[in-house]
Amino acid sequence: MRIFFLILLLLIAAPVESFVPGTGRSSFDSQSLLINEDDYLGKSVPDISFTDENAKQFKLSDFAGKPLILSVVYYRCYQSCPILNEGLSTALSKVNLRLGKDYNVITVSFDHTENTVLAAQFRKNLEIKMKGEVPPDFEKWIFAVSTERDIKALTGAIGYRFFFSAEDRLFVHPNVYIFLSPDRKITRYLFGLYPSAFDVKIALIESAKGKVGKFPLINTFALACYMYDPNSKGYRLNLPVVFASVGFLLGALTGLIVFLFSRNLKKKKGLIISR
């Protein structure tokens, strides 16, 4: 019964169970793993080091100039971690932005005991499972590990907490995507599994706004008309902006009609006077 609750908690946006080591008991705390976004949004993430699945070392600063999506997991996970990346892959395959050109993605393990072999296997499993639902240039999606010190620096900077149950041999952790601006500032958290392509695209545009270049007008309009809802952890229609925009367009259209009607009326009066 206990493992059932663990699995259930892993499948929601932010699991709510913490463990009392050595007791075989769990203490439920609905706030234990929640990320207080207000404490972290706009804050900078340190320039930590990683090692990718090909044993190549790099730093976050190597990805400067583009928005970055962070997926924090552990590779031995057989529950939500694969699903978290499958959901992101599905969403990105439907986004008309190019991986490596317009944005970057790093999946990193929070378990410092994991190695590059596990990272490479996790990538392979994801590619096999998703088949045609991986984004173009999937090879530029980085799967990485890091040292205990750098992982603590990363998770501390983004407010990411996790707990390990020795009895059940699994971690409980938030299911969340973290969006970083080109200068490594946290711009958005998207919680849950299988995010919509729309939410991911808007979050990327939001993260890159003013930093990687101008986007088409439709994207600017989308940013204006959709606002992030912290309650549902997604984007919703910004009705005041929509109504204001519609009002402006109707006002402009009415003004144009009045102008054309007035000009036409003046022409008719001129013709009558000349006669």
pTM over 0.75: no
Listed residue (51, 21, 40, 200) closest to 112, CA to CA: 51
Q: How many domains does the chain have?
A: 1
Cα-based angle 180, 115, 159 (whole degrees, multiple of 5): 35
- According to DSSP, residue 32 is labeled S
From CA 80, how far away is CA 227, in angstroms rounded?
27
pLDDT: which is higher, 260 or 36: 36
Q: What is the structure's pLDDT at 233?
A: 58
Residue 187 lies in a domain: yes
Residue 53 lies in a domain: yes
Residue 115 lies in a domain: yes
pLDDT: which is higher, 219 or 72: 72
Residue 20 lies in a domain: yes
pLDDT per residue over 49-84, tens digit each?
Answer: 999 999 999 999 999 899 999 999 999 988 889 999
CATH number of the structural domain spanning residue 44: 3.40.30.10
Residue 225 lies in a domain: no
From CA 49, how far away is CA 72, in angstroms rounded?
15
The H or E element spanning position 5 is helix 2-10
Q: What is the structure's pLDDT at 212?
A: 32
Q: What is the structure's pLDDT at 197?
A: 93
Residue 32 lies in a domain: yes
- CB of 106 closer than 8 Å to CB of 178: no
Residue 180 has pLDDT above 90, yes or no: yes
- According to DSSP, residue 62 is labeled G
Residue 262 has pLDDT above 80, yes or no: no
Residue 239 lies in a domain: no
pLDDT tier for residue 254 given thresholds of 50, 70 and 90: confident
Sign of CA dihedral 224, 225, 228, 233: negative
- Most confident range, picked from 4-8, 189-193, 247-251, 264-268: 189-193
From CA 67, how far away is CA 58, in angstroms rounded?
17
pLDDT tier for residue 236 given thresholds of 50, 70 and 90: low
Instruction: Give the DSSP letter string of 138-172.
Output: GGGSEEEE--HHHHHHHHHHHT---EEETTTTEEE
Domain that residue 183 falls in: 2-219
Residue 184 lies in a domain: yes
Beta bridge partners of 70: 106, 178
What mean pLDDT comes out for the span 102-131?
94
Q: What is the structure's pLDDT at 159?
A: 92
